[in-house]
């Protein structure tokens, strides 16, 4: 005997109706919107790409003007020029050489006039005469004493002594000027005589002696 017959599928789909398709479309749209939002957030979080700086190609070095103007520098060779004829030598000039202009000569400045009054007012310049140095004076010599006091003695005592107008009785003192003198000595009636003496500052004593009636000098 045949078993129970299954309900055909088209019948279930027809029962589901159009609502199931709408739900599926909404779900798909929601997934699309969510994925798009996630992508936008991720893209905004990424750093902006840095574009590389443009590379400037170096300019080729410019050729110097001399190199451009020099013959053979261009790619095209210049056509050979015609043989140049040597220039004719100019005849020597017979004109005299130019004379250089000399600077004008300035007249000398006039000298100031000097009158007799100006000459009289100007003091005469003292002539400088080289005078020889004066010789140094020798040190002054010791002035001799006006008189020298000399002590006079005699043997025997009691003689009279005189010289240069001065006299003394022995033993005594006699003041005589320095120099040579003639001294007269008299021993009374026993005898007398004269003596030549040289009196100086060092002379301090003159002694006379009577021997056999004659006077012995110092």
Distance CA 201, CA 215 (A): 25
pLDDT in tens, 87-120: 566 666 676 666 666 777 777 777 767 666 665 5
CB-based contact 162:155 (threshold 8 Å): no
CB-based contact 145:201 (threshold 8 Å): yes
Query: What residue spans define the domains of the chain?
Result: 148-212
Range picked from 65-79, 126-140, 166-180 for highest mean pLDDT: 166-180
Percentage of the chain modeled with pLDDT above 90: 26
Q: Which CATH class is domain 148-212?
A: mainly beta
The full length of the chain comes to: 218
The CA-CA-CA angle for residues 22, 27, 29, to 5°, reads 95
Q: Give strand ranges (E) for the chain.
A: 148-155, 160-163, 166-169, 172-176, 179-186, 192-199, 205-211, 214-216
Determine the straight-line distance between the first and last CA of the chain, rounded to whole angstroms. Answer: 224
pLDDT in tens, 8-22: 555 444 455 556 777
The residue ranking higher by pLDDT, 122 or 133, is: 133
């Amino acid at each position: 005997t045949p078993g129970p017959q299954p309900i055909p599928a088209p019948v279930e789909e027809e029962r589901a109706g159009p609502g199931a398709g709408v739900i599926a479309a909404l779900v798909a749209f929601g997934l699309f919107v969510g994925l798009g939002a996630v992508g936008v957030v991720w893209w905004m979080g990424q750093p902006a790409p840095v574009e590389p700086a443009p590379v400037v190609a170096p300019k080729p070095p410019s050729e110097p003007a001399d190199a451009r103007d020099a013959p053979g520098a261009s790619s095209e060779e210049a056509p050979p020029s015609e043989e140049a004829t040597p220039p004719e030598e100019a005849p020597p000039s017979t004109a005299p050489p130019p004379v250089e202009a000399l600077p004008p000569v300035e007249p000398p400045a006039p000298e100031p006039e000097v009158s007799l009054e100006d000459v009289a007012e100007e003091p005469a310049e003292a002539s400088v005469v080289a005078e020889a140095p004066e010789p140094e004076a020798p040190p002054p010599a010791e002035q001799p004493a006006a008189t020298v006091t000399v002590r006079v003695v005699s043997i025997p005592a009691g003689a009279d002594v005189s010289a240069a107008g001065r006299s003394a009785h022995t033993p005594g003192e006699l003041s005589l000027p320095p120099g040579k003198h003639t001294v007269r000595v008299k021993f009374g009636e026993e005898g007398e005589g004269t003596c030549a003496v040289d009196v100086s500052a060092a002379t301090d004593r003159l002694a006379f002696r009577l021997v056999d009636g004659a006077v012995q000098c110092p």
